[in-house]
Amino acid sequence: MANYVHVHHFNNALSEHFDVSLYFRRNSGEGEVIGPEKFRVKYYSALGMGLVEKYLRILYEIVRFSSAIYYTRNLGASLFLSFLNRSHFLELHSYYLRTDAGTFNRFMFNLIVRLRKTRLVFISERLKNLYFDSLADNQRNALKFMVLHDGANLTYVKSKVNVTGNNRITVGYIGSLGPGRGEGLIQDMARRLPDVDFVIYGATEKCDSQLPNNLYYKGFIPNSEVNLAYATFDMVIAPYTMSLRVQGGDSTIDYMSPLKIFEYMNTGRPMIVSDLPVLREILDERSAIFCDPSNVQEWVEAVNDIRFGRIDSESIAMSARRLLNNYTWSKRAQEVKRITEL
């Protein structure tokens, strides 16, 4: 789902500067309407001739629009464009030079670099550094690249809305659950803070007698309703752990650029996040509270610091929201436009 949100918002932002057509694999697991689309979507099928159809579509567009600007997140599409001598952007969300990334992925990436028709877009400084450390000096010197973190739109989130009537403090988490997302840590926090409510949106609803009775799994929430959920929270948490895995099994903890962090920055709520170097590329102590993901007591104390007014949580929340001005989708698209005009 995060992939679809990223693609939707970024293409909408690009549409402020370009006439955008998105080529997208039709997938029954995605496609929620999260807002108006300012760009054209052209689907290719996910089965059968899908791969052939994708590259035929690219070839067709190249023939139709020789001066088009191409932007992709797909290694195969980037290699195809490189062979056809078309300059383009390749946005990287994975480290394809690691030993377990697959021989074919490493081969494609190295060939793309040698053909020199792409500008690499890294989603974090740490991802850029991983690639640069793996490339020879002549390859690094020849690279065209930029770093563009993920982003969020600046939108309005209401002041606290009390939906329970009990005036209890509510700690919120919105996003998928899985390896490294901190579900166990949230459960442990709830056990240690029985007078605080913990609410999780984005995971399967659960009703388990072994879970704390102050922990609520609310299930999936449409993206269009996310701000309504944020309005019921006093604070938000992002308890990433070192075992983080994305769909497909890749570990991204060292170089990720999580959408959740940028959306949290918009909420006007103080956020408690794992103390990871990649998150410190974006946040600092003025805009977030950092905790050791292996020490649940630090998280408990951070919640208490906020609810008992031991820190200026409003200042932290507003600082994060101001900082988001540097990471909006619009800002991201403007940087792409700037590069195309060089």
Least confident window among 142-146, 205-209, 231-235, 333-337? 205-209
- Using DSSP, state whether 111 is helix, strand or coil: helix
pTM (predicted TM-score)? 0.90
Per-residue pLDDT band at 28 (split at 50, 70, 90): very low
Q: Exposure of 1 by Cβ count < 10 A (0-12 exposed, 13-18 middle, 19+ buried)?
A: middle
> Could you tell me the pLDDT band of residue 64, with boundaries at 50, 70 and 90?
confident
Please say if the pLDDT value at position 190 is more than 50: yes
Mean pLDDT, the chain, rounded, equals 88
- Per residue in 292-307, pLDDT (tens digit) is 999 999 999 999 999 9
How confident is the model at residue 250, as a pLDDT?
62
| Beta strand residue intervals within the chain, DSSP E | 21-25, 40-44, 70-72, 88-92, 118-122, 144-147, 170-174, 197-201, 215-219, 235-238, 271-274, 289-291
